[in-house]
Amino acid sequence: MKSKIYTLTGDAGTTSLVHGKRVAKDDIRVETYGTLDELNSFIGLLAHNSKLDHDDLPKIIYRIQNKLFNIGAYLATEDADKATGLYIADVKELESKIDEMDAELPPLRGFVLPGGSRLSALCDICRTITRRAERHVVTLSHSAPIDPLVLQYLNRLSDFFFILARYNNINTQTEEILWDPNL
């Protein structure tokens, strides 16, 4: 039998964590994994861009989406011993891809304004949502133990999206527009 998508249990502004504990929908834990869900949705949009069809980027983005689900599941429980589904190899994979793309880029000459191409603008949106999720994880860490790999991964992930935005602009010959503090 198919279950109903609506349960009516959240109508008063609460939701359940993994083991059934009810919390307010604006609880920092819910806000944190909700932000990761938002990020994952934008990554889904980013993933369906034909300009990513070359290279190993589609596979990396698919792994990123799965890792974000792992982190979300980890954060949706108060069990500090629950595995995050993250490994140092996941952080290293992002670092390796960042280094590989960055090697093809000219040095930064200043702060790059978000945008350029549509794909780069999507990368910038993903980067800023990643940073927000990272800030929420830090806030949550003040009241609950958090695996340090979560922060490392999110920190590297925002760097990945920054470099991917630049990489795309350079490879599509889209001009990077630098911040001009005098405008």
Contact call for residues 65 and 40 (beta carbons, < 8 A): yes
Sketch the domain layout of the chain as residue ranges. 28-171
Each residue's pLDDT expressed in tens, for the chain with a length of 183 residues:
777 777 766 677 877 777 778 877 788 999 999 999 999 999 999 988 766 656 788 899 999 999 999 999 999 988 767 778 899 999 999 999 999 999 999 999 899 999 999 999 999 999 999 999 999 999 999 999 999 999 999 999 999 999 999 999 998 899 889 999 999
Q: In degrees, to the nearest 5, what angle opens at C-alpha 86 toward C-alphas 80 and 89?
A: 145
Predicted TM-score (pTM) of the model is 0.91
Q: What pLDDT is attached to residue 51?
A: 67
Query: Distance of alpha carbon 177 from its chain centroid, rounded?
Result: 24
> What is the reported pLDDT for 25?
78
Q: What angle do CA 138, 144, 146 make, to 5 degrees?
A: 60
According to the CATH classification, is domain 28-171 in 1.20.1200.10?
Answer: yes
Q: What is the pLDDT of residue 96?
A: 96
Dist. CA 81–CA 61, nearest whole Å: 27
Predicted local confidence at residue 41, as pLDDT? 97
For residue 28, give every residue at least 6 positions away whose Cβ sits within 8 Å of its Cβ, in sequence order, or none.
136, 139, 140, 143
Q: Report the distance separating Cα 123 and Cα 142, nearest Å.
A: 29
**Secondary structure (3-state) at 154:** helix
pLDDT (0 to 100) of residue 78:
82
